[in-house]
Amino acid sequence: MLDMLLLLFALATPSRQSPLPEQAQIGRADAFTRPLSFTTNGTFQVSIFEDLHFGENAWDTWGPQQDINSVKVINKVLDRESPGLVVLNGDLITGENTFLENSTLYVDQIVQPLVQRGLTWASTYGNHDHSFNISGEGILARERRWPNARTRSMVPGRAAGVSNYYLPVYAAGCSDELQCSPELLLWFFDSRGGFYFQERHPDGSQVGQPDWVDAGVVDWFRQTSQRFVARSGRTIPSLAFVHIPTEASQALQTEHGQQASVDRHRQPGINDDYPVAQQAQGWCADGRNDGSCGYGGQDVPFMQAIASTPGLMAVFSGHDHGATWCYRWDRLVPGMTVAGNGVNLCFGQHSGYGGYGNWIRGSRQVRLDLRSLRAERWEAETWIRLESGDVVGDVVLNGTYGRDWYPATPNTMTYCPTCNYTVVTPGPGSFQRKMSPVRRRL
Ligand SMILES: *[C@@H]1O[C@H](CO)[C@@H](O)[C@H](O)[C@H]1NC(C)=O
Ligand SMILES: *[C@@H]1O[C@H](CO)[C@@H](O)[C@H](O)[C@H]1NC(C)=O
Ligand SMILES: *[C@@H]1O[C@H](CO)[C@@H](O)[C@H](O)[C@H]1NC(C)=O
Ligand SMILES: *[C@@H]1O[C@H](CO)[C@@H](O)[C@H](O)[C@H]1NC(C)=O
Ligand SMILES: *[C@@H]1O[C@H](CO)[C@@H](O)[C@H](O)[C@H]1NC(C)=O
């Protein structure tokens, strides 16, 4: 009965049309041509939304209802948080489910709450953003119709993927970015995966795209970050965002088993996805992806880079909806070839009503303090703001993270209040909604 009332209520709510980008930000568009900066208070906050999975089953009533509820999640979080940047950390859209002619229009629904608040955002693309009927290039073009979008593509070539770029963050009051040196760098990577846009093998099957950060992108990252060091004469602290986590996250998570590796008081968070799916999953070392290999190791160059970049405080991933912890990677985990240097590997919170799993939706927040960074205390505070308004997993990623005690995160489930999943009609793509909360998704 309650479901029914909520459904009727949702149907009675007029659908809000997105204004045209040109109309939306008159008088404020200049705010988005300026570089990102710390507040006058000396803080900079990022709100990460990930795995929004818009566009599922447009032909069943529950598909559009999921997206309406996902927009509500974004609004509920942003009613309580005031970020200087929103990061959309991959799987914005479930591309296997969308139609060629309008697959990227979901971008407008996703960013509507950000545009209404005058917020600026930056995306990485996930495996579901690369599919037969949708491409990273197409999503980027749609995003960039909005002046608020800071998503870029800095590494050319088919192998690079799309969302590889950086954004500098300056101190408040730096009106000329050529005069000031950045206080913080934000790096965005495309871990690719999914399928190449509109490509088929001779037998008609879709062409799988490798699911790791390409070695050419890693070279670009190393060279570009070294250039920043050379130009500014100092290490510039940084954060990185990439949709699919690396093998290091899985190795840390499985080292001593599910209960003992990720400690509910030392690395608070949900730890239901066990083991987490990682980059290079489903590929062989020789480049085959015919289902014969579990993990091909092609993310080693990226892991080497993140474990040897001074000042890189944390890498934030999504992809594994049932993992929400941060782990300080500060050693060689047995069986691995790359040793961590203290970089934190964090998952966020599943933000959308699309995609597998019913863990409560939310958004990871990250706050940096310029005074700490300038004192070379490269640490960040991070917490998860849930759609309920509650905060969980509030931790400081500092030198003792992993030893400090924090309250455990409750493992709460929520269900789409207006979605009637009785009828699930198979669609054009290969996608089927996964009703089981912990089904793996490749
Ligand atoms: C859900 O959909 C089914 C099939 O159309 C219908 O029989 C059922 O009454 C619906 N449930 C609710 C709560 O609306
Ligand atoms: C500035 O910092 C103070 C103290 O931390 C805080 O109470 C206040 O809300 C902050 N103001 C802004 C605009 O962030
Ligand atoms: C895309 O087209 C399909 C089929 O006509 C429709 O059901 C769906 O609502 C459309 N999606 C958007 C975002 O316009
Ligand atoms: C790290 O932060 C925690 C929580 O604020 C604090 O208890 C601990 O002393 C800090 N460690 C360092 C090295 O600053
Ligand atoms: C791609 O979009 C076309 C045009 O709407 C549709 O006919 C087709 O079924 C879709 N294909 C897949 C694999 O989703």
Calculate how far, in angstroms, residue 382's C-alpha sits from the geometric centre of ligand 2.
16
Q: Which pLDDT belongs to residue 431? A: 52
Residue 14 lies in a domain: yes
Q: Is the CB of 11 under 6 A from ligand 1?
A: no
Run of H or E residues at 134: none
Domain that holds residue 248: 2-434
For 136-191, write each residue's pLDDT tens digit: 999 999 999 999 999 999 999 999 999 999 999 999 988 777 789 999 999 999 99
Q: Is the CB of 405 under 6 A from ligand 4?
A: no
| CATH number where 385 lies | 3.60.21.10
Q: Is the CB of 39 under 6 A from ligand 1?
A: no
Q: Is the CB of 4 under 6 A from ligand 1?
A: yes
406, pLDDT greater than 70: yes
For 184-208, write each residue's pLDDT tens digit: 999 999 999 999 999 999 999 999 9
Q: Is the CB of 6 under 6 A from ligand 3?
A: no
Beta pairing partners, 368: 44
Q: Which atom of ligand 1 is nearest to the CA of 7?
A: 14
For 113-136, write each residue's pLDDT tens digit: 999 999 999 999 999 999 999 999
Tell me the mean pLDDT in the region 330-339.
97
**What's the token pair of residue 358?**
């019913």
Residue 441 lies in a domain: no
Which ligand approaches the C-alpha of residue 82 most closely?
2
Q: Name the residue type at position 118.
A: G
Tell me the mean pLDDT in the region 79-99.
98
| Confidence band for 33, pLDDT divided at 50, 70 and 90 | confident
> Which residue CA neighbors atom 4 of ligand 2 most closely?
41
415, pLDDT greater than 50: yes
Tell me the mean pLDDT in the region 212-223.
98
Residue 442 lies in a domain: no
Residue 440 lies in a domain: no
Residue 389 lies in a domain: yes
> Which residue CA neighbors atom 8 of ligand 2 most closely?
41
Tell me the mean pLDDT in the region 258-286.
98
Residue 146 lies in a domain: yes
| Confidence band for 429, pLDDT divided at 50, 70 and 90 | low
| Best probe residue, ligand 4, of 378, 394, 396 (max atoms within 8 Å of C-beta) | 396
**What's the token pair of residue 23?**
């109309």
What lies within 8 Å, CB to CB, of 350 at 6+ separation is 50, 51, 318, 321, 322, 357, 359, 361, 362
297, pLDDT greater than 70: yes
| Best probe residue, ligand 3, of 16, 97, 99, 142 (max atoms within 8 Å of C-beta) | 99
- pTM for this model (two decimals): 0.92
Calculate how far, in angstroms, residue 266's C-alpha sits from the geometric centre of ligand 4.
12
CB 329 within 8 A of CB 315: no
Which ligand approaches the C-alpha of residue 401 most closely?
4
438, pLDDT greater than 50: no
Q: Is the CB of 274 under 6 A from ligand 5?
A: no
DSSP 283: -
Q: Is the CB of 61 under 6 A from ligand 3?
A: no
Residue 194 lies in a domain: yes
For 284-295, write each residue's pLDDT tens digit: 999 999 999 999
Calculate how far, in angstroms, residue 45's C-alpha sits from the geometric centre of ligand 2.
12
**Total tally of structural domains belonging to the chain:** 1
Min mean pLDDT across 170-174, 175-179, 386-390, 413-417 is at 175-179
Q: Is the CB of 428 under 6 A from ligand 5?
A: yes
d(CA 375, CA 300): 32
Q: What is the DSSP string of 61-128?
A: THHHHHHHHHHHHHHHHHTT---SEEEEES--B-GGGS-TTTGGGHHHHHHHHHHHTT--EEEE--GG
Q: Name the residue type at position 9.
A: F
Residue 265 lies in a domain: yes
Q: Where are the beta strands (DSSP E) in 292-400?
A: 312-317, 326-329, 343-347, 362-369, 380-386, 391-397
Q: Is the CB of 398 under 6 A from ligand 4?
A: yes
Q: Which pLDDT belongs to residue 177? A: 73
